[in-house]
Structure 1
Amino acid sequence: MSVTVIGGGSWATALIKILSEKNIKIKWWLRDMEAIAHIKKHHHNPQYLSSVELHPSKIKPYNNLKEALKNSEWVILAIPAAFIEGALIDVNADLFVGKKIVSGVKGMVPSCNKLVTDWFSEKFNIDKNQIAAIAGPCHAEEVALEKQSYLTIASDGLETAQGFADLLSCRFVKTAYITDIDGVEYAAVMKNIVALACGITHGLGAGDNFQAVMVSNAMLEIERFVNKISPNARQINASAYLGDLLVTAYSQFSRNRTFGNMIGRGYSVKTAQMELKMIAEGYYATKSIHEINKKLEVKMPILDFVYGVLYKNQSLLKAFEVLKEQLI
């Protein structure tokens, strides 16, 4: 079996490590030629999760995406949503014929406010039954340390979901599969927004008591939004939804929480982005979900708080006061 992984960051590297547990051929596309040369010579990613030892007998890095896609049965997307259009701009639909596509991207394509799987399906004319999404709490940094993790694979096609869940299951990753792909993707997008809010309010001096209240309210907010945009008999308290929210809101590894904390301490958006040196998906997701909710009109005070701070330059303290009054 041959699998192509698209992306050179932490999550792509973590997925490479997980897949390396299986007896499969892994084709890894990276944009950075220097990183490719380093991986070939030293067998680790020089910029992300550099402690992860890569297996040269199983992994072949590519800079040519078209070559990396040839003859693979599965294609895994692991690049920030904001860059996905640019990365695939020269790729045509023929290269995806007969392949199953898996999104490891917990964000939205900002130019059209679409989920990555929806954008991909429309762009390359692929049946949604052949597309899956990775969900659940699983920080790349903990995968690198082989800490026990849990992932849920979602797809409209049950066979696709089960097939990739089996492929990703290994000694330190337990997997499950469901068919609620839209639900887990929207929940994953929104949990990044919540993590921004947690970071911002922590930067302003709010403590654990307030964060617990906000995360509780956030789960209700996510449930309202997801049930409105994608009605389904889902278990919103399952790890694919609630678990992912909790780890992103609380963990030291959460780049969205870190980004928000910088904003709460007075950094500008541009300065925080430059210092973080990684993409905080929640920044772009905030605008996308805000645009979508103009039509849905779901009550979303946490989203409104983050949007006001990041995109309308609202006073942090005044926005915080408004948020406090809206939580229960």
Structure 2
Amino acid sequence: MVNGRIAVIGSGSWATALAKVIVEHTHEIGWYVRRPITIDRFKLLRHNPGYLRNLAFDVAEIDFSSDINYIVSHYDTLLFVTPSPYTKELLDKVRVPMRDKFVVTAIKGVVPGENTVFTEYVHRRFGVPEGQLACIGGPSHAEEVAQQRLTYLTVGCTDEARAQAFSSVLRSHYIKTKTSQDVVGIEYAAVLKNVYAICAGICRSLDFGDNFHAVLMTNAMQEMNAFLNALNPIWRDMLDTVYLGDQLVTGYSRLSRNYTFGAMIGRGYTVKAAQAEMEMIAEGYFGTKCMYVIAQELRAHNVHLHTPTLDTVYRILYERANAAEAIRSMTNPGA
């Protein structure tokens, strides 16, 4: 099965890294970049002026556009890599059919105001069949992919042939790929691991130490497993790189923006101050509220779901609970 013409939608660090990976195979891509001035500077400098500036491109291979409807109309495979807080705003601008497209998401967040992940929203709103929806997951810092460091990615799609075909344009000497049919599970896991990474960062700044960090990550994986089973009760290997691997790299690495955001909160930053100081968006801040609401909705339908880590991060970020007291309360639930 052929992917057809591929377009990348988004211009952040992960979008830039994936665009480089794909164009090395295809030697042509469409690329939606929101601001025309960014496109002009990109063409002049031959690199993204805002992210991964050391990553050079042959701009003759790129069909840039700031018109999302042009990109959707002219390309067959649409890879969305936009920050989750702006996803719905962008999709609201789409006026052309998407039903016949192969739509892939590398977004690690939920659709604002919808409390659902990208593929579920696109399926419902644009009528894209489930077999034409896919996601990319796994432990994958954009900075390391740009440096061609060995990275393992998982392409989730219920259509195995499509998953394999798209995997082929990612695979290289430094990108290893495999496929999965757990599309929704991979997407929600990518949201939850950011929440848990924020908690890990908070605990690091509060000097809870490595011993507790290990316990926190272990408990977070159990919590994630329970949450995913409540949302989509299928068998999945939680030790797989797309679940455990992504959780570990996000919850331990200083390259993780969510871990960094959490560390700032733990040092006493307000949410607004931490967001203002960071150059990139910590998706977990937005994901925390959405997953908290989803958990409440599941419980309202008599689903037994225990989410102490998620609840604690929500209290700290949205109810302004004292971070040290909230973490200690989480570790001493009966006290």
TM-score by length of 2: 0.94
Alpha-carbon distance in 2 for matches of 1:16, 1:316: 38
Q: Aligned with 1:20: secondary structure? A: helix
Corresponding residue for residue 66 of structure 1: 69
1:278 to 277, 280, 287: 280
Question: Is residue 189 of structure 1 aligned with residue 191 of structure 2?
Answer: yes
Equivalenced residue count is 326
How far, CA to CA, are the matches of 2:64 and 2:210 in structure 1? Answer: 43
Q: 1:238-263, CA deviations, whole angstroms, 9 ceiling, x for partnerless residues?
A: 00110000000011110001111111
Corresponding residue for 1:5? Answer: 8
Given the alignment of the two structures, is residue 36 of structure 1 paired with residue 43 of structure 2, yes or no? no
Aligned equivalents of 1:24 and 1:138: distance in 2? 23
What residue identity is the alignment partner of 2:118? V
Structure 1 alignment gaps of length 5 or more: none
Matched residue of 1:174: which SS? strand
Mapped to 2, the partners of 1:2 and 1:171 lie a distance apart of 23
5 Å-filtered alignment, 1:215-226, equals 215-226=217-228
The residue type paired with residue 114 of structure 1 is: T
**Counterpart Cα distance in 2 of 1:8 and 1:71:** 19
Deviating beyond 4 angstroms after TM superposition, the runs of 4 or more aligned structure 1 residues are none
Does the CA-based 8 Å contact 1:196-1:261 persist in structure 2? yes
- Cα contact 2:100–2:128 (8 A) shared by 1: no
Partner of 1:102: helix, strand, or coil? strand
1:127 aligns with 129
Partner of 2:117: 115
Measured against aligned partners, the alpha-carbon deviations of 1:6-49 in whole angstroms (never above 9, x if no partner) come to 10100110111110220342111111222211111121001100
The alignment's TM-score, normalised by the length of structure 1, stands at: 0.96
Query: Shift in Å at residue 88 of structure 1?
Result: 2.2
Correspondence list, 1:103-252, <5 A:
103-252=105-254
**Bigger shift: residues 28-37 or 54-63:** 54-63
Deviates more, 1:32-41 or 1:125-134: 32-41
What percentage of residue pairs aligned between the two structures are identical?
39
Summarize deviations over 1:165-220 as a string: whole Å, max 9, x none: 11211221011001011111111110000000001111212211111110011111
Please state how far the C-alpha of 1:121 moved relative to its aligned partner.
1.2
| One-letter identity of the residue aligned with 2:106 | G
- 2:310 is aligned with 1:303: yes
Letter in 2 for 1:302: T
Structure 2 residue 50 is matched with structure 1 residue 47 = yes
Partner residue, 2:86: 83
Find the counterpart in structure 1 of residue 330 from structure 2. Answer: 323
Give the residue type in structure 2 aligned to 1:318. E
User: 51-60 or 250-259, which moves further after superposition?
Assistant: 51-60
Amino acid at match of 2:249: V
For the aligned residues, what is the CA RMSD? 1.4
Structure 2: state its 5+ residue gaps: 300-304
